[in-house]
Amino acid sequence: MKRFVRLAFALACGLLVAAGAAQAAERTVVVVLFDGFSPAMADATTTPNLDRIKREGAWSRHLVPAFPTLSMTNHNSYSTGCWPEHHGIVSNIFYDPKRGLFGRGADLDDADWRTGCETMREAAERQHVRAAVFNWVGRWSKTRGARASYINPDVPYLLEPGDDRVADKAIALLRDNGPNHPRLIALYFQGPDEAAHYHGVVAPETQAAVRHADAIVGRLMAAIAALPPGREGTLVIGTDHGMIDVGPLVNVGRLMEKFDIHAKQASDGGTAFLYLDKGESADRVAAVLAPYKDVFQVYRKGHFPPFAHLGNGPRLPDLMLVTHPPYWMVGPEMFPQWADMLGINYFWPVAFVPFTGGLKAEHGYDPAIVQMHGIFYAWGAGVAKGKQIPRLDMIDIHPTVMKLLGLQPGHPVDGKPVDALFAQ
């Protein structure tokens, strides 16, 4: 009898140890941001790996970006879980009264431009979980140094490693079973953005870029599946914005010259910010621009639309112009010298279709426009299988990733975990 009791006790202990080992599997989350990846792009070509995630994981056609639906705003909302009014990156290009111009000529990688909110990598490191970040903006700070245990060096954008090299770095870290490997790996990929801008949303060149992105997804899935016993992995994939095919551009320089508007402008995609000079009247400028309501909507500071979530801080313009597709905005600094010599900023129409050098697709518009929505996929440990999510906001990615890691989100955070994603 005693022997039987001892045997039963030993078996029970063994089962408990085995259960504890299963529960203690260390989870690594790989977070991917593909630039400018809309669902229509995936629909237009073959994506076997993304299709596999639809069967085995969770996905959505409606990852709704923050406004403006531009890269820098959403890179930061994706990583912090905050609206622009809280993280402070209010557009691709804007003026700060103390720091000057953000965007062209400014260091986009410097985390010191962000005025609030923790990124997922900073929140993880604060909770003693190592993070790796490759090619993502804000991965370093001029005053505080690297914002994660592993980052690639800060170099000009054109010298940063390409998408395949970034995938190589991530896979090498997934294969690292040493004591210092990261449990959060955040990756930015150029994705189909540039091809879509210059060729169109479903052009052959864009389809090729989508297939390349899908191949990278497949490599990451294989590396996660190959993790050794005691480790498990989750892949979270999103984008910063969608894309829509466009036609005429709005010549902001000509607009300002025509109506003698004294201001600094910051124009990109579907939006333009006007910072009025001292003595210039916001009432006057709004009035002279009102007849263009079929081309763009004019909003005054303090009266921005609810979808903006821009707050009322010092980086915001006195007037904001939001175009209606298929129109898009171009500031005078974007025209080459020969175009300026032709008088594009002084004599040409306010809106026209460029005969050369124009873009075929753009973003930056009202996030309610469905083409601004992006892809979302999640696969692996802790994720429900075959689950389609009707919609989620860009700010929901951060708290979802942190929950997958078993960590608290950064502080503050505006988003919420996407509960429908998690396995029951």
| Residues 183-216 pLDDT 10s | 999 999 999 999 999 999 999 999 999 999 999 9
What confidence tens digit (pLDDT) does each residue in 342-363 have? 888 888 999 999 877 789 999 9
∠ CA 374-379-380, nearest 5°, is 160
| The pLDDT value given to residue 53 | 98
| The pLDDT value given to residue 300 | 97
Half-sphere exposure for 313 (CA within 13 Å, toward CB):
22
CA atoms of 30 and 236, how far apart (whole Å): 6
The answer to which of 58-62, 158-162, 252-256, 322-326 has the lowest mean pLDDT is: 158-162
Residue 368: pLDDT band by 50, 70, 90 thresholds? very high
| The pLDDT value given to residue 90 | 97
Residue 262: pLDDT band by 50, 70, 90 thresholds? very high
| The pLDDT value given to residue 403 | 98
DSSP character string of 218-248: HHHHHHHHTPPTTEEEEEEEEES---EE--P
Residue 341: pLDDT band by 50, 70, 90 thresholds? confident
Closest listed residue to residue 226, CA positions, set 30, 378, 421:
30
- Mean of the per-residue pLDDT values for the chain? 92
**CA 405, 409, 415, 420 torsion: positive or negative?**
positive
What is the model's pTM?
Answer: 0.92
Three-state helix/strand/coil letters over 316-331: CCCEEEEECCCCEEEC
Residue 185, SS3 per DSSP = strand
| pLDDT of 49 strictly over 90 | yes
